[in-house]
Structure formats: C-alpha cells, structure tokens
Amino acid sequence: MAITPLSVEDIFDRLKRGKRWDFPGGVHPAEHKTLSNQSEIARVKLADKLYIPLKQHIGVEGELQVSVGQKVLKGQPLTHSAHPFAVPVHASTSGTVVDIAPQVAAHPSGLSELSVVIEPDGIDQWIDLKPLSNYQEMDKAQVVEAICDAGISGLGGAGFPSHIKAQPGKNVEFLVINGVECEPYITSDDRLMREHAWQIRQGIDVLVHLLAPRHVIIAVEDNKPEALDALSVACRDASNYLVCDVATKYPAGGEKQLVQVLTGREVPGQGLPIDVGVIMYNVGTCFAIADAIFSGKPLVERVVTLTGGALNKPHNVWAPLGTPVEHLLSVAEYQPGKQASPRVIMGGPMMGFTVTDARVPVVKITNCLLVPSVDEVRNDNAEQPCIRCSACADACPASLLPQQLYWHSKAAELDKAQDYNLFDCIECGACAYVCPSEIPLVQYYRQAKADIRNQRDEKDKAERAKRRFEARKARLEAEQQAREEKHRKAAEARKQAMQNKDTDKSARVSDAIARAKAKKQQTENVTEPVAETQPKNAAVAAAIARAKAKRAAQTDAEKKPEATVQPSPAHNHESDNDDAESAAQRKQRQIAAAVARAKAKKQQGQDVNKTTPAQHKSDEAGNNEQQSEQDIQRQAESKQQRIAAAVARAKAKKANRQQAQNTSDSDDVTEEKNSQS
Amino acid sequence: MDVLSAPLAIGLLALAFGAILGFAAVRFKVQADPLVNQIDDILPQTQCGQCGYPGCRPYAQAIADGDEINKCPPGGEATIKKLADLMGVEPKPLDAAHGEEDVKKVAFIREDECIGCTKCIQACPVDAILGAAKHMHTVMADECTGCDLCVEPCPVDCIDMVPVTTTTASWRWRLQDHLQQIPVKQVS
Amino acid sequence: MKFALASSPHQRVNRDTGQIMRMVCYAALPGIAMQCWFFGMGVLVHLLIASATAVATEALILELRKKDFERAVKDCSALLTALLIAVSIPPFAPWWITVIGTVFAIGVVKQLYGGLGFNLFNPAMAAYVMLLVSFPVQMTAWLPPQSLAEQSHNLMDAISIIFSGFTTEGYSISQLRVDVDGVTLATPLDAVKTGLTQGKTVSETLGLSIFNGATGIGWFAVNAAFLLGGLFLLQQRVISWHMPISMLAGLALTASFFYLLDSDQYSSPWFHLFSGGAMLGAFFIVTDPVSGSTTRNGRLIFGAAIGIWVYIIRQWGGYPDAIAFAVLIMNMAVPLIDYYTQPRTYGHRSNSSNKGARR
C-alpha cells in the first residue's frame, strides 16, 4: 500500500488535516440507526432470574467461588483464576445463587455452558467497592490487575481480555478508541458516546497512563455527528487526543480495517494491531475501565440496543449481564406477529447470530438484540448457483477471493481453501450481502474453518498419541531388555557355579538346602493370614514367629560347615539325611508358628473385648470420636462389601467370558466345518 | 552412408536426451518421505489394533507391503479415501470384519468401582491411564484415543466408552442439526 | 419459544441473479431497436425463436437432470443467451440457424458443463462460432441498411424469408442484398477486407455507398445504441467497468498503433470501435461473469486481450468480425489469468509465498 512508510507524526498530521486512507471493498447497507438512537439509555427492572455464564470472553474460565444457596452481593466475583487469560465474572445484582449448571449459552450453536443462576433479592446491594482514584500514583501492574479483577473484556464484540492488551510490552504509537459502530441498526456505542463522553474520556486517560501511546485517535463514523461533538468537547483539552470522523462504510469498524483507514498500515496476517504499533479499545470498554478504576465497580451491566421492526419500543437499555433475552423482548414490546417465524439476532444484521432460545442471557459482548420484521430480512432458503460475478471479491475488505474460498469450502478441499487465506476472512458478511445468488458464503467459511480447526486438533492429538505409543514401546522394550540382561547374568552366574561345582559341591548342596528351608519358612509366614489387617498385638506375635523362624534358619546355616567337613562320596544318601533332618526341624518350627498364631488370635480376641469397654468410655467422653470410629468401621464394611461385589462381578465376567468363548469356539468349529465342507 | 546417417542421428539424439534426463533426475531429485511414514501420518494413531496389527505403524508397514487399506475402523471412510489417494488405488468400503466406524469416544473409569488392579494401565497403548496398584485409576481424557483396549481386561467392568460431546469450542457450525431451516443446500 | 436459526449476514442487497439478467436484457433494447430500424424486423423474429428455444431447451434438460427448472428458468440466464444469439446472427438467416444455435448454446455449452455458473465458454459465442463454421453462407448474409436496398421489406417479409427463404413478393435473400446500383452489399468490415485483398486502400473502400463517413450506415447507430445500454448497466453497477473499458481500450490502442503506422493499410480506431459487434461485445458479451475472469486485474487483462484479439482477427484473420473468436480464446485462458492475478490479501506481503505451497 504505502510505498514509503510514513512516520508517526506524518500520519497524525495527515489525520489532523482530515485525510484518511481507504480500505478495499466494503458495502453500504441501509443503516436503520434512527430506529433506536432517539431516546436515552433506559434502566430496566430486573429479570426474575439471571443466567451468568462463567466464560464470556476469549480465554479460559475461572474457578467457581460460590455454591448453590449462597447469598451474593452485586459485584461479587463468582469466579477467580490466576491464569493470565482468565477474566472473572461477577454477580450482576444481589441475591441468591439458586443453581450452578449448564445453561443455554449466548452462542450460535445453542449448546450449554456452565452458568451461575442468580435469583435477585431486589435490594441490588453493592459489595464494598474499592476505587483507585489515585491510579496515577500507583504501580501500573496494580491498575492492570484492577481492570482484570473488574472482569473487563472487549465490549466491541470479540471479547478479548482487556488487561492483556493493557500490557503490550511493545512501544505503542497509536491508541485507537473505536467508536465506529459500523453495523446497521446498532446504536449502543452511539448513545453511550453521546451520554457519557466524559466517562469515556476518563477511561481513555487510564489507558494512556498504562500504555503511554504517542497519540490517541478516537474514531467515530461520520453518521454519528452528536457522538463526534460530545467526544470532541470531552477531549478538547488534550493535545495528543484526536477525534476523527471516518467515512461511513461497512466494515470500517473492524479492527484491521480501522487500523488501515487511520494509519494506512496493515496488521500482519497472523499478527495483532500492536505489531504495527496500534492498540485498539472499544468506547464501551473505556467506559467500563473508568467505572472500574474510579468507582471500583466491576463489569456487571452493559448497553444493549433493542431494535428491529418487530419491536414496538426500540431503544437502548442498561442490561445487567445474565438478563435473559425474553425479559428484554418484553421490555421492548416484542410483536411476534410481525415476523414470519420468531427470530432474534444477537448482534447486528451483518455479523450477529440467531439465538436459539428465549433464555439466552446477555453477556459481555452482547451489543444488540435485533428482532427484524418479516420484510427486513431475506429468506435464507434462496441459494442459487454461483454465476461467478465476483461481486463478492469487489466487496471483500480483506481482498480475498470469496468465490474461490466458496468452491473449496463447499468441496471440503480444506487445504486449498487455506491456500486462499481462508483464515484471513473476518466473517464480516460483505460478500454474502452482495451475492446476487444469495449464497450464504460466510456460513460455508465458518464451517470450513471449524472443520480445519477440528482436523488440526485431531492431527495434534494423533501426533501426541503416536509419541506416547512410541515412548511406551521404547519403555517396554527397555524393560524387556533389562529382564533379559538379568536372566543372562543369572545364567552366567549359574554357569560359573557349575564350573565351581566340582571344587565346592557339597557347599553348594548345603546352600541349596538352606535356601529351600528359608523359602519354606517364608511361605509359611506369608500364609499366616493374620499379618496385615490385625491390630498391633497380632503383628507383634507374627514378628516373634518370624524371629523364631529366622533363628531356626540361622541354626541351619551353622550346621552347614559341619556338613561340609566330611565330603561324602554317597551324595544321595547325604541329601536324604539332610532331608530327614530338615523334616524334623520343620515340624518343630511349624509347631512354633502354630503356637504363635494361636497366641495372636487369642490376643486379638482380647483386644476386641478390651476395645468394647473403651468404646463405652469414649461414649461418655464425646460422640465425635465414636462416630468417626463407626465411620471407619462402616467404611471398612462397605469396602469389604465392595470388594465382595467386585469379586462377584469378576467371577460373573469370567463365567460370561468362558461361556462366550465356548460358544465362539463351537461357532468356530462349526464355521470350520462349514468351510471344510 | 545415407543409410547410416539416420540411425546415427537418432542414436545421438537418444544419447543426448538420455544424458539430459539422467542429469535432471540427479540434479532435481526430490527427497520423498518414505511411504510408511506417509501412511502412518494418515492413520488416526489410536493404536487400537483393530486392524489386526499391534499399532498404527505396523499396519502402515503392512499397507506399504501390500495389505488392504480398509481395515481401520477409527479412521473410517475419510482415512480410506486418503490412503487410496496416496496408494493410487480405488477406495473400498470399510472391512466389517475389523469393526465399524463409530463416533469418537473416550474411556471413563467409574472410580468408586475401580479395585486398582492395573490391568487397564497395562493395556493402554498410549499410557493414558494413571494409577497404581490398589489405588483407583483414572483416564486422562485428552490423551485417550478411544481405542477400547482397556475395557476388556477390566475384571470389574468399570470402564465405559463415553462419546465425546460437542462444546461451543468444537462446534462445527452445522445449523441444520437444529432441524430447522437449512441455510446451506445443494444447488445445481 | 422456538426461534428460527439462520447464518449471518441477515441483510442482503435486493438484487438477485434474475434481476441482473433482466437488466442486461433491458439494456440491450435500444440496440435491438436500432437493428430493426436499419436492418429490418428479422431480428425480432429471431429473438422470439431463440427465446422460445432457449427456455424450452433449458427446461427440458433441467428436467432430465432432475433439477428444479422453474427457478432456473426464472433466473433469465437462458433468455439472455437467446438474446445475444438473436442479435448476432444476420436478421434474415433461416429459422433453423437460430434453433440449432440456441439448442447448442444451452444444451451443450451450458448444461453439459453443469449449468449456470459452470460453463467454461460463453454459450452465445460458442454457438455463434459453431454456426459460422458450419453454415458460413447463411451466417454472413447480412443485408445492407434498408435505405440502400433496392427492395424494401417489412415484418411480413421478414417472417416469410426466415421461414421460407423468400419474401412475400418472392425475392430471395441474395436478391435483397443487391443495392440500387445492382452491387451486392456486404458489411463494412467485410468490404474493407475484400477491398484490401483487391489492392484498394482503406480510404478508397470507404468511398463505397455503404459507408457513411468513417463507419457504415446503420452500424454506427447500432453500436452507439449498445454503448448507451452499456453505460446504463455501468451506471446501475450491474457490470463493472473493468472488462468493457479494457476491451475497448485494447482494441482502440492496437488499431491506433497500426493506423498511425500506415493509414492506407489499416482502418482507423474509430471505424473499429463502431463496426460489427464491438460495442455489443464490450458491454454484453465480454462482461458475461460466468466465463470471464474473476479477479480485478484479471478482468483488465481479460478485456484488453480480447480487444487485441479482435483487432488481430479482423485485420489478418479469415473472418470479418472476431468478437466470438476472441472471447472463446480468452475464455480458455481464464483459469491461468485468475491464478496469476490473485489480489494481495490484507496483511500479507504478497501471494507468491502461497503459490509455492500450492501445486
């Protein structure tokens, strides 16, 4: 575009002289703004219930801070998170949390999202507010945190968390305040600028303090002269603030388009405006920031335009976040008879989406509810073949080729669609607006984009699965190798031993015998069922038994040298001898073990007897302890039951499987027979 | 002499072109990804073994060696089509002997029934189950490929395969699902 | 409450395909009127035949393809094709010429390729070329303007000659082409070409009676009328300026260049702009969106190239007029043009980086 990049001052001078750049394409739909911008922003009475979704911005949702039944005050945070992309939501009025459950979301899909349902108590009592009136003396991080804690995310439509933009980490040349509001019908920003220009100015001052931009440009479309005047008056004393009128053309209010119109710069494809030294805030966001800093009020309400031919009283209202659409419709006197079928659009006619349910709540990005009469919208079902007229390409503000995108999206050639820069489409709807064949082009692009995103996610997941699978395989192989190594070493050791056999045969023999004995004893110990679950006494008894066994083993070992002293030619005989010996010893040990067991058992019984009086005592002392003990007992019982149940299930399953196997086996057999025959 | 000149000319030409082609083949050689890798990239990496091979890569190897391309139920028609494109063969319907295409699912362990036997942990091809002996196990839903392999070994049948639900983030803009007006339709 | 769902945008311009096609048809009316005035009522008869054939063919084929033919017929695209065929062929050509041409245009060139929006070639022009190649005699039998002809003729004569080959008074078409001096008259373009082959200079040829000033009688008026219609379309933004202006510019500049080189051998740009189907081509044929280029620069290239081709074929080719050939040639080049004239997307340096990725 610009052959030699202009300096910041040149650009600002140019704007001062009233010159603007232009963006390609664009359309001029009928504005219909006077429908709703004639009266002041009205206050509405509270709805019976407010549905506040936990996530109303781009990013992640916070953790819930309230529970069902809890009383909340207006402005009380409902969520909290330390995540940088998390913005809290607040109670829009005082009342009771009656439910926390998935509710239909303000989303074109009509799917549900986790929401807090608040029943207002009618008092509308604020929580303690902590204004930061002396923000200029405070640490910037503190101010940014206050903005974040106030739950402010972009009110223009995208819902990008405002505090993230407030700490860009780069040099800000232009701070652009977007009051363009280029979509037809919508007048919420218009009214806000007219009525609250001074507070918007305060918000801008806060942002200037945070961002320290070279210049501030406040852009308003030239079809809003009153708003332009109000802002000009409010910003008269600031020399580096410039209120700019922008030629009325849709979508001049798009972030990228406005950057181009004001500075002649283009935001890089995958980049953000800050990459060309620009930061943009919506006027509504500025207003909310001023609210947060100077009165400490979090974002709990916003201006919503209620408009359209099917409303008797189109006007702007302050709607508490979470107010269901049906409530606002009744406020504006909705006339269903004026529509072919009930249809409510959240947002404007170009980019808004149809709400799926009357209970859909107003959220932070809801700037308009458009309820068009039957002659204000076109029938959607009139798609005709594309005649390649390229009206769409002429209208595209991003200089894309909507037609090619359409062919490829429709044919699900997602790679090719991406080659034609599908993801640079801002979904402004200009192409579909001008299409003579009434093709819902944007719908095709959205589907293609969603498909590409899903495919990408799937691909990522597959890649991850592959890596994990390979890592697992490697691990198993390593284990296998380690095992083999061990076996090999053991085998080598055996071999070595075999070689030594001749010289040290008898020693080995006695060794083996000792090993066998020890093993036997060990198994005996283990088979004692008392060991683990018994109380201490039993364990002590078992320990004694083990000690005895050990001693016995030791005596065995002591005997070993005796055995090795006289090398005997009659190998078998000796071993027989040994066996006999060990049998006698075994008997002894068994008796000892049995005695130990019996003792343990007895002691256990005594234990139980003892604990009963103890329990009585503790009964007197306090119920708590006993309860907890009973709890433990119950738990133990239930655990036993569960184990029993699990075992039963396992058995059932085994039986089942065997049966299945049998039948399948027989099936196989019959099949085989069949195939043979 | 005339008789000789024609074959000579042809021969020289052939030699010259041959040299050019040979040079071009060496000079502009494209280093292609080995076929097995390309096939492996197409496969869904569920590692479920429904194809009869112990994982996706072995199946990729098998396809490269000439096995059928229609043995992957998790991949379904889409994968078969891509494989057919890659291998230059006709796509064919999924071989029912290896299972049927199903909605995407992830495993879910009913934790109060889990007895902590670790059998599912050993079965999971992608180590997506956490737990230790005699402690309840749980599935990392993000890592689960929905391969089904953990269901069978569980002695107490406490593993369910739960279909993945659509969220507002993964919604695919299919308005027609709402059984209302269909804004997108087939024309001509 | 059940809400209706729809995808944004919910507002649309009130101009659909049918309206666009109808407006183009209306814009062609002054030109048709002029043709009637100078060359007799034959064009009206052909218009009727062509329209009936086109709509019938379209409906029949759509029925065979099991499509909703009612809406397709309502979009008037077949009617526009019929109109272009009717004004392109000589007014007293036999009826079956129109029928064959229209059936070919709708049935083969348009519907066989997939119907509206899918045809590679401009149906009317493809049909015209097919007719010209197959029936050269009938397709070049243009009558001289009525004021010059020995035999005058009216609507009844026109109908009679189209269906039987003779006027009500029994004159054949070749007799009608003879002027008061007993010389067979051709179109100015024809005459210049014939004159040049006979060794005459352009200015000598222009002395013939069919010429009135720099261009021929009647032809100037017809072209001017089509220009008027074209300006109306531009003003209504039915067509964009790129293709017609670049086509006329391409033609005029090439003609000027050679005219300045040698005015004896080459006729003036003025003559080229207002002869034959130049204006009709520029505003009604080249602007066919379906078979034309779709990018902004592409449309400029497409138009200019057609202008140059028209000049080349008129000057050195075997046929007197060349709009149809030029359009068809450039139709073939459209995918190439589109590919290399993709606009630079907002926020991207250039599209060259993507091109490498695409193959």
Asked if the C-beta of B156 comes within 8 angstroms of chain A's C-beta atoms, the answer is: yes
A548 lies within 8 A of chain C by CB: no
Question: Has residue A476 got a pLDDT over 50?
Answer: yes
Average pLDDT over residues B84-90: 88
If asked whether residues C218 and C248 sit together in one domain, one would say: yes
Please list every residue in chain C whose beta carbon sits closer than 8 Å to the beta carbon of residue A351.
Answer: 8-9
Q: Span B58-63, mean pLDDT?
A: 90
**CB within 8 A of C233, min separation 6: which ones?**
C23, C24, C27, C239, C283, C287
Q: Is residue C31 part of a domain?
A: no
Asked whether the beta carbons of A443 and A354 are under 8 A apart, the reply is no
Residue C14 CA to residue C7 CA, distance in Å, equals 18
Between C86 and B187, where is the model more confident? C86
Of A356, A469, A653, the CB nearest to B157: A653
Chain B: residue whose CA lies nearest to A406: B184
Tokens of C309: 């081709």
Is residue C81 one of the residues assigned to a domain? Answer: yes
One domain, residues C70 and C103: yes
Name the token pair of C71.
Answer: 């809406």
pLDDT at A551 over 80: no
Q: What are phi and psi of C197, to 5 degrees?
A: -65, -25
pLDDT at A659: 64
pLDDT per residue over B95-115, tens digit each? 888 888 778 888 999 888 888
Same structural domain, C190 and C311 = yes
Q: Look at residue B101 in the predicted model and tell me its pLDDT.
A: 79
Q: Do C118 and B188 touch (CB under 8 A)?
A: yes
Question: For position B141, what pLDDT does the model report?
Answer: 86
Nearest CB to C12; choose among A352, A389, A433: A433
**Chain C residues lying within 8 Å of B180, measured CB to CB:** 4-5
Give residue B184's pLDDT. 41
A377: which chain C residues are within 8 Å (Cβ-Cβ)? 6, 10-11
* Cα–Cα nearest to A95, from A73, A117, A128, A126: A73
Burial class (CB in 10 A: 0-12, 13-18, 19+), A671: exposed
Of A380, A385, A473, the CB nearest to B181: A380
Mean local confidence (pLDDT), A247-272: 92
Residue C351 lies inside a defined structural domain of this protein: no
Do B183 and C117 count as a contact with CB atoms less than 8 A apart? no
Does A619 or A222 have the greater pLDDT score? A222
**Using CB atoms, which residue from A111, A443, A649 is nearest to B183?**
A443
pLDDT for C359: 33
Which of the four pLDDT bands, split at 50, 70 and 90, describes residue A530? very low
Nearest to B181 among C5, C67, C117 (CB): C5
Taking only the tens place, the pLDDT of each residue in A153-168 is 988 877 889 988 888 8
Q: Specify whether C224 is located in the same domain as C281.
A: yes
Give contacts of C240 with chain A, Cβ < 8 Å. Answer: 390, 394
Give me the total of CB pairs closer than 8 Å, taking one residue from chain B and one from chain C: 21
Are C195 and C307 contained in the same domain? yes
Q: In chain A, what residues touch B185 (CB-CB under 8 Å)?
A: 381, 383
Report residue A527's pLDDT band, with 50, 70 and 90 as the boundaries.
very low
Q: How confident is the model at residue A517 (pLDDT cuts 50, 70, 90)?
A: confident
Residue A5 near chain C (CB below 8 Å): no
Q: Which residue segment(s) compose the domain that C266 sits in? A: 186-340
For residues A283 and A220, what is the distance between their CA atoms, to the nearest angstrom? 10
Domain identity same for C167 and C237: no
List the single range of A253-267, A277-291, B39-53 with lowest mean pLDDT.
Answer: B39-53
| Residue A616 neighbours by CB under 8 Å, 6+ apart | none
**Total Cβ atoms within 10 A of residue A456:** 11
Average model confidence (pLDDT) across chain C = 83
Count of domains observed in chain C: 3
How many angstroms separate the CA of residue A228 from the nearest CA in chain B? 38
User: A–B: how many Cβ contacts below 8 A?
Assistant: 99
Task: Show which of C75, C105, C140 is a domain's final residue.
Answer: C140
Contact C327, C306 (CB under 8 A): yes
Contact A27, A41 (CB under 8 A): no
pLDDT bracket for residue A340 (50, 70, 90): confident
Handedness of CA A289, A295, A296, A302 (dihedral sign): negative
C276 vs C356, residue with greater confidence: C276
Which helix (H) or strand (E) segment holds residue C10: the answer is none
- pLDDT digits 0-9 by tens, A249-259: 999 999 999 99
Distance from CA of A379 to the nearest CA of C (A): 9
Q: Is C296 near chain A, with CB under 8 Å?
A: yes
Residue of B nearest to A455 (CA): B170
What per-residue confidence (pLDDT) applies to A521? 67
User: A232 with A254: CB under 8 angstroms?
Assistant: no
C-chain residues near B178 (CB < 8 A)? 5
Do the chains contact at B183 and C6, CB–CB below 8 Å?
A: yes
Q: Where are the alpha helices (DSSP H) in chain B?
A: 2-27, 35-42, 56-64, 76-87, 119-123
With an 8 Å Cβ cutoff, the interface of chain B facing chain C consists of 173, 175, 178, 180-181, 183-184, 188
> Is the distance from CB of B119 to CB of B127 less than 8 angstroms?
no
The model carries a pTM of: 0.79
- CA distance linking residue B183 with residue B160, whole number of Å: 37
Q: Where do the H-state alpha helices sit in B49-183?
A: 56-64, 76-87, 119-123
A435–C12 CB contact, under 8 Å: yes
Whether A203 and A286 have beta carbons less than 8 Å apart is answered as yes
C200 inside domain: yes
> Does the beta carbon of B29 lie under 8 angstroms from any beta carbon of chain A?
no
Mean predicted confidence (pLDDT) in A248-271: 92
Bond from prior residue into A342 cis (ω within 30 degrees of 0)? no
Q: Is the Cβ pair C116, B188 closer than 8 Å?
A: yes
Q: Is B5 on the interface with A (CB under 8 A)?
A: no
Is B183 at the interface with chain A, CB within 8 A?
yes
The mean pLDDT value for A446-470 works out to 90
Lowest mean pLDDT of A437-441, A552-556, A611-615, B82-86, name the range.
A611-615
Residue C85 lies in a domain: yes
By a Cβ cutoff of 8 Å, what residues of chain A touch chain B?
A: 105, 107-111, 113, 356, 380-381, 383-385, 440, 443-444, 446-447, 450-451, 454, 457-458, 461-466, 468-469, 471-473, 642-643, 646, 649-650, 653
Closest among A417, A446, A350 to B174, alpha carbons compared: A446
CA–CA distance, A421 with A449 (Å, rounded to integer):
11
Query: Residue A464: is its pLDDT beyond 70?
Result: yes
Q: A345: which strand partners?
A: A354, A370
Comparing B116 with A628, which gets the higher pLDDT? Answer: B116
Which residue in C2, C3, C5 has the most chain B C-beta atoms within 10 A of its own C-beta, making it the best mutation to test that interface? C5
The string of pLDDT tens digits covering residues A271-287 is 889 999 999 999 999 99
Cα–Cα distance, A162 to A283 (Å, whole number): 12
> Per-residue DSSP letters for A101-123?
EEEE-SSTT--EEEEEEEEE-S-
C-alpha distance from residue C351 to each of A397, C343, C345, C355, C359 (Å): 16, 8, 7, 6, 14
Lowest mean pLDDT among A55-64, A204-213, A497-506, B123-132: A497-506
Q: Do B180 and C4 touch (CB under 8 A)?
A: yes
Determine what percent of chain A is predicted with pLDDT higher than 70. 75
Q: Which residues contact C34 (CB under 8 A, 6 or more apart)?
A: C218, C221, C222, C224, C225
CB C346 within 8 A of CB A424: yes
Taking CA–CA distances from C116, the nearest residue in chain B reads B188
Residues C249 and C288 in one domain: yes
Residue C319: pLDDT above 90?
no
Instruction: With CB atoms and an 8 Å threshold, state whether B173 touches A380.
Output: no
Asked if the model's pLDDT at residue A261 lies above 80, the reply is yes
CB contact under 8 A, C6 and B188: no
Q: CB A419 to CB C357 under 8 A?
A: yes
The reported pLDDT for the residue numbered A532 is: 44
Give the model's pLDDT for residue A612. 43
Query: How much is the pLDDT for A587?
Result: 61
**Residue C17 falls inside a structural domain:** no
- pLDDT given for residue A99 in this prediction: 93
Note whether C209 and C287 are same-domain residues: yes
Q: What is the pLDDT of residues A37-96, one digit of tens each?
A: 899 999 999 999 999 999 888 888 888 999 999 999 999 999 988 888 888 999 999 999
Per-residue confidence band for A316, with pLDDT thresholds at 50, 70 and 90: very high
Sign of CA dihedral A294, A295, A301, A307: negative
DSSP classification of residue C22:
H
State the pLDDT confidence band at C215, using cuts at 50, 70 and 90. Answer: low
Confidence band, pLDDT 50/70/90 cuts, at residue C211: low
- CB contact at 8 A, B64 and B164: no
| Cα–Cα distance, A346 to A368 (Å, whole number) | 6
pLDDT confidence band for C179 (50 / 70 / 90): low
Q: Do B45 and A450 touch (CB under 8 A)?
A: no
Mean pLDDT of C188-209: 70
Q: Are C121 and C229 within one domain?
A: no
Band (pLDDT 50/70/90 cuts) for residue A674 is very low
Backbone angles phi, psi at A404, to 5 degrees: -65, -40
Least confident interval from A89-103, A656-670, B11-25: A656-670
pLDDT in tens, A358-407: 999 999 999 999 999 988 887 666 788 888 888 999 999 999 999 999 99
What integer is the mean pLDDT of A5-14?
A: 86
User: Average pLDDT, stretch C6-24?
Assistant: 86
Question: pLDDT at position B185, please?
Answer: 40
* Cβ contact, residue pair B171, A466, below 8 Å: no
Ramachandran quadrant class, A414 (left: phi over 0; alpha: psi -120 to 50; beta: rest): alpha
The answer, yes or no, to whether residue A319 has pLDDT greater than 80, is yes
Task: Supply the pLDDT for residue A328.
Answer: 95
Phi, psi of C147 (to 5 degrees): -65, -20
Per-residue pLDDT band for C147 (boundaries 50, 70, 90) equals low
Kindly report which listed range (A171-185, A189-203, C37-51) carries the lowest average pLDDT score.
Answer: C37-51
Interface residues of C toward B, Cβ cutoff 8 Å, are: 4-7, 67, 72, 114-118
Q: What is the pLDDT of residue C262?
A: 85
The reply to whether C26 falls in a domain is no
pLDDT computed for residue C357 by the predictor: 38
Chosen domain end from C140, C167, C202: C140
Q: Are residues C253 and C303 in the same domain?
A: yes
Identify the pLDDT of residue A380. Answer: 61
**The predicted structure's pLDDT at residue A167:** 86
> Between residues A639 and C136, which one has the greater pLDDT?
C136
Same structural domain, C173 and C97? no
Q: Which residue of A has its CA nearest to C69?
A: A384
> Does pLDDT of A543 surpass 80?
no
User: Using a CB-CB distance cutoff of 8 angstroms, which residues of chain A are in contact with residue B143?
Assistant: 464-465, 468
Query: Do the domain assignments include residue C180?
Result: yes
The pLDDT value given to residue A314: 94
pLDDT at A194 over 70: yes
Q: Are residues C162 and C81 in the same domain?
A: no
The pLDDT tens digits for B148-180 are 888 989 899 899 988 888 888 788 887 755 434
| pLDDT surpassing 50 at residue A609 | no
For chain A, list the contacting chains (3+ Cβ pairs, <8 Å).
B, C
Which of A383, A469, A642 minimises the CB distance to B55? A469
Helix C323-340 × helix C296-316 angle, to 10°: 150
Identify the closest residue of chain B to C111 by CA–CA distance: B188
Chain C contacts of B184, Cβ < 8 Å? 7
